Amino acid sequence: MKWTEEEKRQFILRVDIGRARRLYDEGKNAEEIAAVVRRPVALMEKWIRNFKIIDQKRQARNG
């Protein structure tokens, strides 16, 4: 199977988000996560805010 550039970009983004989420769950800060996934710190801060929102929604659902 040959991937298009767009498919490759989307796959790499999903992998990076998953890696960032695992690091966030381990308690790493935005700078540490950015260094590992090689993305800008500002983007990692945005992702962390989104992770926190997701966590709050999960906690609200679980009571």
Give the pLDDT band (50/70/90) at residue 62: confident
Residue 48: C-alpha distances to residues 2, 6, 7, 18, 54 (Å)? 33, 25, 24, 12, 10
Domain residue spans in the chain?
A: 5-62
Residue-wise pLDDT for 5-51, tens only, equals: 999 999 999 999 999 999 999 999 999 999 998 889 999 999 999 99
**Whole-prediction pTM:** 0.77
8 A C-beta contact, residue 51 and residue 21: yes
Give pLDDT, residue 1.
75
